[in-house]
Structure 1
Amino acid sequence: MAGSSSSYKKYQTRTRNPNPKASVLLVIDMQNHFSSIAKQIIPSITFTIQTCREASIPIIFTRHCHKSQGDHGMLGEWWNDLIIDGTYESELMNDLGRRKEDMIVEKHTYSAFRGTGLEEQLKEMGIEEVIITGVMTNLCCETTAREAFVRGFRVFFSTDGTATSDEALHEATLMNMAYGFAYLVDSNSLKHALP
């Protein structure tokens, strides 16, 4: 479930606009495996992607997948439905407006930074800020946001472009993000914030 775009303002402790010259949009794990959760936020994400394209902000998609029995770590103990590379479930959803020039980062844990080379890639690109959208709010999106923050990136976390299985989990993440890790934005506020 995604939160309504106005409900997050009660958690907001700071406000700031992204710098389009130093930002990247991360679209986390919008894969067929998560389609029942992700389908409700497709309009917000596609609007955000279009907004970022208009502002010349690069778009990076992440794809969660496991290529072997040895690459799942604790996830294999925690979940019984791992996403195996090469399956339909592992493919990115078709209706996101992804372009062939958009980078795809493959990951096998909650963090888009762990063992992926993403941090080095962003630094090479001169990126200082990440805008986070995708699924699941409280797992991969939150972990990636926290790791971005501790690596020195300014984080903007989408309230209507993230979703998870439960409204309470979504809200708890927004509360934590606003308190210590990220500026909260929604697709409309982002549109107004970017030139």
Structure 2
Amino acid sequence: MASIGSSYKKYQIRTRDPNPKTSALLVIDMQNHFSSIAKPIIPSITSTIQTCRQASIPIIFTRHCHKSLSDHGMLGEWWANDLIIDGTHESKLMNEIGRKEDELVIEKNTYSGFKGTALEETLRELGVEEVIVTGVMTNLCCETTAREAFVRGFRVFFSTDATATSDKVLHEATLMNMAYGFAYLVDSNSLKRALLL
């Protein structure tokens, strides 16, 4: 697992706070399959979720799963022995993140939260112009979803301490990429200050 706190400031090129009136929080793939990577960021991600609830920011969870052995595309080539099959314990969201019954879950079967899903339509219907990206894995589903959000015209905020992956180098590489061309870097404390104080 790799996530970092304040050291991300060295990558920060631009700073901005999210607008709570036009933001949504995306919680990417916090599933049992990724529990060893995700457990260390539970305090940061639950703090971020709570902050967004208090600020009346909609929260959308994604869940990565495959309905069959034929809906995996290139992921089958890359992760043939590690696919997440729908209906298994591994495919379920972790209880620790405390999703509420009325909070939306978008199912996806690739790295992007947008491809083949109703995520963009849902965000547009909610009047969302900005997304805050959290979850796992930093360099795969979180980064791909953040990049797609950016090219679809959403302002992106990328959490440094509520995202995680298998290796610190990969985590930091994503933060450098995000800060350079795609997203404002934030953490759970900066979001709390920006949205609640």
Same fold, TM exceeding 0.5?
yes
The 8 Å contact of residues 2 and 160 in structure 1, kept in 2 or not, is answered as no
TM-score calculated relative to the size of structure 1: 0.99
- Which aligned segments of 4 or more residues in structure 1 are displaced greater than 6 angstroms? none
Deviations 1:101-157 (A, max 9, x none): 100000000000000011011001100000000000000000000000000000000
Aligned-partner Cα distance in 2 for 1:51–1:171: 25
| Match runs of 1:73-84 below 5 Å | 73-79=73-79, 80-84=81-85
- AA aligned opposite 1:125: L
Q: Distance in 1 between matches of 2:2 and 2:135?
A: 10
What is the 5 A alignment of 1:44-63? 44-63=44-63
Question: Residue 116 of structure 2 corresponds to which residue in structure 1?
Answer: 115
Q: How many pairs does the alignment contain?
A: 195
2: CA distance, partners of 1:18 / 1:6:
18
Unmatched 5+ stretches in structure 2? none
Query: Given residue 2 of structure 2, which amino acid in structure 1 is its aligned partner?
Result: A
What is the CA–CA distance in structure 1 between the aligned matches of 2:118 and 2:103, rounded to whole Å? 16
Partner residue in 2 for 1:13:
13
Return the letter of the residue paired with 1:40. P
Gaps of 5+ in 1: none
Corresponding residue number in structure 2 for 1:39: 39
Q: 1:1-195 residue pairs with structure 2 within 5 A? A: 1-79=1-79, 80-195=81-196
Give the superposed CA RMSD. 0.6
Contact 2:3 2:165 in 1 (8 A): no
- Asked if the contact 1:159–1:184 (Cα under 8 Å) also holds between the matched residues in 2, the reply is yes
- Structure 1 CA distance for aligned equivalents of residues 113 and 150 of structure 2: 13
Shift of 1:97: 1.7
In the aligned structure 1, how far is the partner of 2:12 from the partner of 2:85?
Answer: 37
Identity of aligned residues (%): 81
Q: Equivalents in 2 of 1:54, 1:36: separation in Å? A: 28
**Deviation (angstroms), 1:20:** 0.3
Task: Give the TM-score taking structure 2 as reference length.
Answer: 0.98
Contact kept? 1:64, 1:107, Cα under 8 Å: yes
Offset of 1:70 from its aligned partner? 1.8
| Cα separation, 2, equivalents of 1:86 and 1:31 | 12
Q: CA deviation at 1:4?
A: 2.4
Query: CA offsets, 1:149-184, max 9 Å, x none?
Result: 000000000000000000000000000000000000
Q: Letter of the aligned partner of 1:146 in structure 2?
A: R
Q: Is the partner of 2:160 in helix, strand or coil?
A: strand
> Residue type matched to 2:43 in 1?
P
2:3 and 2:134 mapped to 1: Cα distance?
13
Please give the alpha-carbon distance, in whole angstroms, between the structure 2 residues aligned to 1:20 and 1:97: 21
In 1: Cα distance, 2:4 partner to 2:11 partner: 13
**8 Å contact 1:2–1:159 — kept in the other structure?**
no
Q: Write the letter of the residue equivalent to 1:44.
A: S
The 8 Å contact of residues 3 and 41 in structure 2, kept in 1 or not, is answered as no
